[in-house]
Amino acid sequence: MQVKFAWFDEVKGNYVVDNRRTKTNRREMVRSNYSLADFDFAIAYINELDVFYVMPCAAFTGFGSEIHLVESASVSENRVLRSFVKLGT
């Protein structure tokens, strides 16, 4: 299980999760891609809304470097994220 916190991108108006492994030291941040063997499921958590999305590793790692989560009234009512379901099958 991998848990990632989402942050709000004010310019784009949505929440963003980085789907790469991040290692830091005092001087630089090193990012690398996860492999399918690293974990079974990822959780993208939006702290401000107390909402989380669970997705299979293949769906999580299948995006570029970021996953954008759009939260609106209609999404909040339904809580269905069809793109992750389709990618996970």
pLDDT tens per residue across span 47-56:
988 888 898 9
Buried b / exposed e across 36-56, counting CB within 10 Å, b at 16+? eeebeebbbbbeeeebebebb
- Structural domains present in the chain: 2-22+34-88 (3.40.1350.10)
Whole-model pTM over 0.85: no
Taking alpha carbons only, the member of 1, 11, 2, 9 closest to residue 48 is: 9
* pLDDT at residue 27 in the model: 84
Is the backbone of residue 23 left (phi > 0), alpha (psi -120 to 50) or beta?
beta
Contact 54, 4 (CB under 8 A): no
